[in-house]
Structure 1
Amino acid sequence: MNRGGHVIWLGDVPFFYRVKCVKENVKDKILENVKSLPEFFKNKFSEIIVDNEYGTCFRDTVYYYHIGDDFSIRFIGYYTNYLEFLDLGSICYLTDKIDAEVSITGKLLEYDDKFMLRPVKLKGFKYTHLTYAKLQVPTCKGEYAGAWIREVGKGYFIRLYDSGVSNSGQVDKAIKLGMKIVSSLRA
């Protein structure tokens, strides 16, 4: 992105999860170490531990917990910035989809998804939002964007459908929209 590449991201929180593979079979060791975590995180770590011809592949990061090289669990801090543009602490984790408004930019780009599930808090003009809503839930107060565009270096990170994609038609539509956005930004 810094040199002009673009990322079109469909679905949930960018960088919330990361997958790692190691040569040996460490599934039991990982499951033993995640036992002490709260249920939500325990489930997220164990959902994707796969033994295959490459060894064991697993999520090594789930929000603010990380499995280290020695397979111990460590807390990595709530306000973790990724790629110097996304602070996971500014994301609201809603339990149900909520209605969102499509912004003027979203309307110009013919963006039509009107729901949010994992919006990011709007801070100044860092994000060009395609959807937005004012939230007043106990854990999230203020203005949030579900779909957004962020300039990173000479490229762009484009987040679409934060409430998830449900079918291949929606994926096709999102790719076309992402390419339209990239074309517009290059002009």
Structure 2
Amino acid sequence: MKKGAMFGLDARIALAIFGALSVISGAALYSAIQEAKNQQIISMFSEISKGFEAYYIDTGIIPAQSENNTSSLDIVQLIENSNNVDGWAGPYLTEEILHADSATKIGSLQVYTGCSQDLSGDGIKPGYANAKLRKFTNPTVSTKDDYRLHIQCISLQVSESLAQKFNGKDVTSSTNLDNIFFNDFGSGTDKQVYFRIFTGNK
């Protein structure tokens, strides 16, 4: 009886340990998946920033406004020289890096964000969001402009991670003085993200 009881106890202990390890492994896997998503977005920010700066150095100008969306710059000009700009030595970006498709033809890109908002009604694949290049007056130097990548649909969890990564503080404390700032998107907790990729004279 004692051996049987001990065996039963050992089995229960083993199962408890196995269960605990499963929970830990699951949490670690989830964390790794989230970190991979964050790194994908961070990599995209970095590539666009480098491409934008290289375009500006080569041509001496900022990409023109998109023909179909006057609130955005035509990011396609970093991929192809459709306007025959002097000094253009690109491409400065690749469509593969940005997960771009036909959306590039209207001066924006589709980026996978895992956002909970269903954007399919806007002609955007579920889980994807438009990313656009936008111009804002620099909040501290009025003679300069900030050029920011605007993504309309980033989950709160990813937004918090990005805020800590780039600003060293949480989403609610981030402002347009920072490298990245946020606004609410839709009625949920998802965010619009504005990432500064370049600052130049007006």
Structure 1-normalised TM-score?
0.28
Pick the structure with more helix per residue: 2
- Name which one, 1 or 2, has greater alpha-carbon Rg: 2
Higher relative contact order at CA 8 Å, sep ≥6: structure 1 or structure 2?
Answer: 1
Pick the structure with more strand per residue: 1
Structure 2-normalised TM-score?
0.26
